[in-house]
Amino acid sequence: MPVPDQLALNVHLRADATFAAFVPAAGQDDLVAGLRAFAGGIGSEVQWYVWGAAQTGKTHLAQAACHAAAQAGLSTAYLPLREFSAYGVEALDGMAGLGLLALDDADRVWADTAWAHSLFALINAAREQGTRLLFTASVRPPDEVLPDLRSRLLWGPVYQLQRLTDPELETLIQHAATLRGFALGDSEVQYLLRHGPREPRGLIALLERVDQASLRAKRKVTVPFIRTVLETVDVDTSTLRPVNPDV
């Protein structure tokens, strides 16, 4: 089944999904630096595999890699396989000629025989044509995966992402506020963490709402102002998370 043009057109990268906006968990600075270099066409590695639980940043990094590749002048594409799986393996047609291809949520398709064989063929073709591949998944490839595909998925660097601790979430909030051009005091950061969704993407979405409200009201972001904003919006995490619960 061909992939509808409309679906392809609707796959957009989030503007805020950049390496500059990513706050890694402890000990993962080298991972981010290495992936940034890889996405920019630097180094001999031509494939990466990044895995981790929900809310560890897989989707953010996949899209950040595409942003970085485009800035380096490479042709690039981002394929969220949880969405494309319904449209068949034709979604992979012609992808091996790109500079960088990011395949998000590979574990959503590798149990399907047709997809497993197509991913295997894609990796081989990408090697021949010089395409850099970035795979993300929620788990390391298990033994149940087609053996030839499993071995190829693990050809390059393999990294596991970790969830942010509460202090790291506070750093994330501070960093996100700085990128948006305003500062938050410790009290405001801790209030957001206590009363907002305790996961990165939801916290960033809430911070964006607070920022927009402060610009409209022309008021500084303080704890009383945040409290007022929270009283006027639904802060249930289900309303703040994107369709993909990762970031």
Same domain, 155 and 199: no
Same domain, 65 and 172: no
Q: Which domain holds residue 206?
A: 166-240
What is the residue-wise DSSP string for 73-96?
T--EEEEEHHHHGGG-GGGGTTGG
Which of 93, 127, 160 is at the close of a domain? Answer: 160
Amino acid 123: pLDDT: 96
Same domain, 173 and 153: no
47 in a domain, yes or no? yes
The phi-psi region of residue 59 (left if phi > 0; otherwise alpha if psi is between -120 and 50; otherwise beta) is: alpha
| Pairwise CA distance, residues 19 & 13, whole Å | 13
pLDDT digits (tens, 9 = 90+) for 93-127: 889 989 999 999 999 999 999 999 999 999 999 99
pLDDT digits (tens, 9 = 90+) for 169-224: 999 999 999 998 888 999 999 999 998 888 898 899 899 999 999 999 999 999 99
Those residues whose C-beta lies under 8 Å from the C-beta of residue 89, and which sit 6 or more positions away, are 114, 115, 118
Same domain, 176 and 154: no
| Pairwise CA distance, residues 176 & 54, whole Å | 20
pLDDT digits (tens, 9 = 90+) for 39-67: 999 999 999 999 999 999 999 999 999 99
35 in a domain, yes or no? yes
- Mean pLDDT, the chain, rounded, equals 88
Which of 119, 145, 160 is at the close of a domain? Answer: 160
Helices (H) and strands (E) in the chain, counts: 11, 5
Amino acid 238: pLDDT: 39
What angle (nearest 5°) sits at the alpha carbon of residue 163, between those of residues 158 and 168? 120
Give the three-class secondary structure for 45.
coil
| Pairwise CA distance, residues 189 & 175, whole Å | 11
